[in-house]
Structure 1
Amino acid sequence: MNILAVDTALSACSVAILLGDRAVVRCEPMPRGHAEALMPMLADALAEAGIGYGAIDRFAVTVGPGTFTGVRVGVAAVRGLALATGRPAVGVTTLEALAATARRREAVAMLVAMDARRDEIYAQTFSAEGEPTSRPQIRRLDDLIDGLADAGTAAGMAVVGSAAEMVADAARAAGREARVLGTDSAPDPLEIARIASERAPEGPVRPLYLRAPDAKPQAHAAIDRR
């Protein structure tokens, strides 16, 4: 099965093409500019792989949580490619993709913690086998530490993600054991492709938003008819 995976949800623009036991990977760190970078990166990766879009059997994309613009760029691109080729698409969360990336280094139970800013954390726990043991959530740092303690998962927890050091420091300050497994701010796109290879498509991919957008519709202003 040939799988093309895309990630634009976080701090990088990444593409991976999984061709059996061969892979082509492109990854460029960038806080913004994903929309302009993605299509040329896809064309470059396909050229190296020696195939066209018609040879792709399945598409995969990170659906969030992440930046609103980044998530929309990746999801829209993959939806369009899936529609144009008649091939299915699979959504993968950034949290599970980061967990899979970290498990390549060490297969342990872990907390994936991503900085959501405003003193909030995108978080999810996973077993040593990579199975989710909680749902994706957005929590304040102190609430997250308390919640982990209540669930009995804080002791010895390995933490990975852009907020890993912040969470580990807070856990230690609360008298609990925690260690930083990695401070990855974006997943390996090859892991996104591998997850998608084992997941049955379930209709159109949809963004995963854990926070309401910052932009709010303006209230209707009174019309000055003078």
Structure 2
Amino acid sequence: MILLAIDCAASLCAASVYDTEAGKEIGRSVRDLGKGHAEHLMAVIDEALAQAEKAYADLGRIAVSTGPGSFTGVRVGVSAARGFSLALKIPAVGVTTLEALALETRHALGPRPVFAALDAGRDEIHAALYDGHGAVLREPAVLTLGEAAAVASSGQTVLAGTAAQLVAGAADKPFEFGPMLATADIGTYARLAAAKAPGDRPKPVYLRAPDAKPQAGFVLPREEK
């Protein structure tokens, strides 16, 4: 099966074409954008498909990073994955940025528990805890720095993600570190998605409520009937 993985959850706009039977990536394209994922995503996908010498009709599955990450970037990626899934009549699979970072850490350091933590600003840490085989011990959640330090200190845990150094400093104990990045390599998303059974459509992992809220003063009164 040929799988297309896309990631727009952080500054990267990335696509990977992965041959699940051969267990290897056969095409990729990655642009470090910061913003503007919607304008570049289709070109990035086309570049990855061209490198793999594949067409959309060859795809058997779509994978997408579902966050936590950039609100807009995650929305762009998930919307694109759902669109491809419907148009091509193939399943779409979601992979969180936290589980992808945890897998990269295990590949680098061996089968160890991983606390993947992202600095979300406003004194918030978006984090999840995984065991040495990737099973979820604590689902993705919003934590204070103190709460994150307490979770990380509960065992022989490796830290990964942009908040790894912050958590280590708050815990005041030595840790090993995996990638201290906002997202994993696009190939990691492809490998994770290849091993997952298709289920519900991917949904964005928004751990924080959106900043934009309706202004009550401008709400029109409902007409009684």
**TM-score under structure 1 normalisation?**
0.89
Q: Matched residues, percent identical?
A: 40
Q: Is this contact kept in 2: 1:168–1:179, CA < 8 A?
A: no
Once residues 169 and 179 of structure 1 are traced to their aligned partners in structure 2, the CA distance between those partners, rounded to angstroms, is 13
Once residues 36 and 25 of structure 1 are traced to their aligned partners in structure 2, the CA distance between those partners, rounded to angstroms, is 18
Counterpart residue identity of residue 35, structure 1: A
Aligned length: 216
1:50 aligns with 2:53: yes
Q: CA deviation at 1:75?
A: 0.4
Q: Is this contact kept in 2: 1:138–1:210, CA < 8 A?
A: yes
Q: CA deviation at 1:129?
A: 1.8
In structure 2, runs of 5+ residues without a counterpart are 221-225
Q: 1:71 aligns with which of 74, 78, 81?
A: 74
In structure 1, runs of 5+ residues without a counterpart are none
Question: SS at the partner of 2:77?
Answer: helix
Could you say if the C-alpha distance between residues 28 and 102 of structure 1 is closer, same or farther in structure 2, counting changes exceeding 3 Å? farther
Q: CA deviation at 1:28?
A: 2.0
Counterpart residue identity of residue 35, structure 2: R
The residue aligned with 1:94 is 97
Q: 2:118 aligns with which of 92, 114, 133?
A: 114
Q: CA deviation at 1:205?
A: 1.5
Q: CA deviation at 1:181?
A: 2.5
Once superposed, what is the RMSD of the aligned Cα atoms?
A: 1.7
For residues 164-196 of structure 1, the C-alpha deviation after alignment (integer angstroms, 9 at most, x for no partner) is 111111111xxx332323312211111111111
Q: Is this contact kept in 2: 1:15–1:41, CA < 8 A?
A: yes
Once residues 222 and 137 of structure 1 are traced to their aligned partners in structure 2, the CA distance between those partners, rounded to angstroms, is 32
Once residues 24 and 222 of structure 1 are traced to their aligned partners in structure 2, the CA distance between those partners, rounded to angstroms, is 50
For residues 108-135 of structure 1, the C-alpha deviation after alignment (integer angstroms, 9 at most, x for no partner) is 2211011111111111111122222111
Once residues 222 and 88 of structure 1 are traced to their aligned partners in structure 2, the CA distance between those partners, rounded to angstroms, is 40
**TM-score under structure 2 normalisation?**
0.90
* Structure 2 counterparts to residues 46-195 of structure 1, below 5 A: 46-107=49-110, 108-149=112-153, 152-153=154-155, 156-172=156-172, 176-195=173-192
Question: SS at the partner of 1:220?
Answer: helix
Q: CA deviation at 1:147?
A: 4.1
